[in-house]
Chains A and B, each alone.
Chain A
């Protein structure tokens, strides 16, 4: 039993034995390569091809199968390009455009015949002349080690992706390394010269392999390994698809303003920040593209592996990669420009004595609307507290940001005082300094109550990087109490008036 291939040679259809087909294909490629640089070189090859058709017809007729022996005979009759040149004195006339032919050049190709995913591993194995299994195992080991954090915590594990360089490297190689399509490329992949004797040897080699596989199949061992890799690649594909979908959802929620997890994730927070850009549209688009494109690529790659369809001719992977690079550069450029108002910074400090005589200091965080029960960002521990939230009650969203409150205790302080600090940014040091001086935390003090006012940021009055802090320097024995709506610190927990506990910020051993 022999496999046959249907081919059209010289505008006629023939059925050729597979081995013969490979030899013929190699021969025609060799001719094409040889005459490519010549004027009307394609006519020469066409002519020879037509002659091949005539000879096939003469020797076997149209109905029967062309055997490999006939193919070899016909090729001998027509002659290899070097012989033809020798005989026709061509070398005297033609300027050889491509003199590299004939040298056995080794090139890195992806190997489509032995591929699991993209043929990268098999190509590397062919290039370095090592067993494919070794390359695959190396890849898988590196991959699984670096992916574990990501796979376990797909949402939280974005930092884990730093170790996934092998995955990205694979994708890049997949895109960058060409696939060995022609017989010549397949030989160049192994660094062999693609002449007919080599092609024949190669065919014999594959025949041996088939025979060996058949024998092994009889003993039920090889398919296990093949299935193993197939299963691994499918699992890999599923992981790819899941991660990419997860990432796409996550980024969509984050940046396109869909609220999840009962928390607030502002849709367009960047519009509340002072930037060196008038229009943030392109910054947003390029940054989103930079984040989303790799995920789309992963999704595409995963689906491709899962359903085993071929890459369309327009190379979507390559297009995505190029777009990604462009988006990265664009985003970086805009980020640099946008960050310009933050290149210089200045600090301003002012001390205010605390006049209270009692041993309890009350703090009140005051705003015209009540503090919300949720959608509140709060970060505090035994001597620090930072709160901000988004006030939705008005027409326009407002960011309500309170100065960070810090407590410094020392029994040796004989006088209590507050230190107000502001850290501002600007194009120039002078501008930053002026901003800092004008923007000290605002507060009111009446006896033992310190009322602290927040800063309100809207689209028309944007946050410009100004950070404020109030530090209380007080002796150990003075108690600090936060007035409603937050209970903070007396029992070591932060508690908002509706009773929601932020147990992560527990500071159990030393109350304020």
Chain B
């Protein structure tokens, strides 16, 4: 039971910050969907690769991302994603929220241990 619970909690947390992660990665460099996947997988942020695509599409619909077609290292042109100004604004808001969240949790934890 406990295993399932921890897994569930972990996945809930992961899901909460997944979009934040995507924006963060793209804030550093523009990227292909496949390189985004590689990065997120290394970070153990996604379980199944398909997850990325609905998120990218939604963020694009919300105007947070844009893409252009670029020759990919192998095969036909692929979408090359980059963050928009709006995405950057949201990202900075998220950064703030994240810092707050970490601080709050630290605070709670420190209180608890005292």
Q: How far is the CA of A47 from the CA of B33 in the complex (A)?
A: 8
The minimal Cβ–Cβ distance linking B85 to chain A, given in whole angstroms, is 21
Kindly name the residue among B11, B52, B57, B61 whose own CB sees the greatest number of chain A CB atoms within 10 A: B57
**Residues on the B chain within 8 Å of A53, using CB:** 75
Q: How far is the CA of A44 from the CA of B74 in the complex (A)?
A: 21
Nearest-CB residue, chain B, relative to A83: B48
Q: Is A149 an interface residue (CB 8 A)?
A: no
The minimal Cβ–Cβ distance linking B62 to chain A, given in whole angstroms, is 10
Instruction: Choose one: B46, B50, B56, B75; the contact of A57 (CB below 8 Å).
Output: B75
Interface residues of A in 22-62 (CB under 8 A from B): 35, 38-41, 43-45, 47-48, 50-51, 53-54, 57
A77/B33 in contact, CB under 8 A: no
Q: How far is the CA of A12 from the CA of B56 in the complex (A)?
A: 22
Q: How far is the CA of A11 from the CA of B76 in the complex (A)?
A: 7
A35/B47 in contact, CB under 8 A: no
Interface residues of B in 1-47 (CB under 8 A from A): 11, 15-16, 18, 33-34, 37, 46-47
A88/B51 in contact, CB under 8 A: yes
Query: Contacts A40-B57, A54-B34 given: A48-B75 contact, CB under 8 Å?
Result: no
Query: Contacts A40-B57, A51-B49, A83-B50 given: A88-B75 contact, CB under 8 Å?
Result: no
Q: How far is the CA of A316 from the CA of B47 in the complex (A)?
A: 50
A48/B57 in contact, CB under 8 A: no
Q: Is A10 an interface residue (CB 8 A)?
A: yes
Q: Is A113 an interface residue (CB 8 A)?
A: no
Residues of B within 8 Å of A, CB-based: how many?
28
Q: Is B60 an interface residue (CB 8 A)?
A: yes
B76/A88 in contact, CB under 8 A: no
**Residues on the B chain within 8 Å of A44, using CB:** 53-54, 57
Interface residues of A in 129-159 (CB under 8 A from B): none
Tell me the interface secondary structure of chain A in the complex. Answer: helix
The minimal Cβ–Cβ distance linking A56 to chain B, given in whole angstroms, is 10
The minimal Cβ–Cβ distance linking A62 to chain B, given in whole angstroms, is 8
Q: How far is the CA of A148 from the CA of B68 in the complex (A)?
A: 69
**Residues on the B chain within 8 Å of A45, using CB:** 53
Instruction: Choose one: B46, B53, B58; the contact of A48 (CB below 8 Å).
Output: B53
**Residues on the A chain within 8 Å of B88, using CB:** none
Query: Contacts A40-B61, A47-B33 given: A54-B48 contact, CB under 8 Å?
Result: no
B54/A39 in contact, CB under 8 A: no
A78/B75 in contact, CB under 8 A: no
**Residues on the A chain within 8 Å of B78, using CB:** 50
Nearest-CB residue, chain B, relative to A92: B15
Give per-residue flags for B66-101: 1 if the beta carbon is below 8 A from chain A beta carbons, else 0. Answer: 000000101110110000000000000000000000
Query: Contacts A47-B79, A51-B34 given: A79-B47 contact, CB under 8 Å?
Result: yes
A88/B47 in contact, CB under 8 A: no
B57/A84 in contact, CB under 8 A: no
Kindly name the residue among B15, B47, B53 whose own CB sees the greatest number of chain A CB atoms within 10 A: B53
Q: List 21 A-B contacts (CB under 8 A).
A: A11-B75, A11-B76, A12-B75, A12-B76, A39-B57, A43-B60, A47-B56, A47-B79, A51-B34, A51-B53, A79-B48, A79-B49, A79-B51, A83-B47, A83-B50, A84-B50, A87-B15, A88-B51, A89-B15, A90-B54, A90-B58
The 6 A-B pairs at the shortest CB distance, nearest first, are namely A79-B48, A47-B53, A84-B50, A78-B50, A79-B50, A11-B76
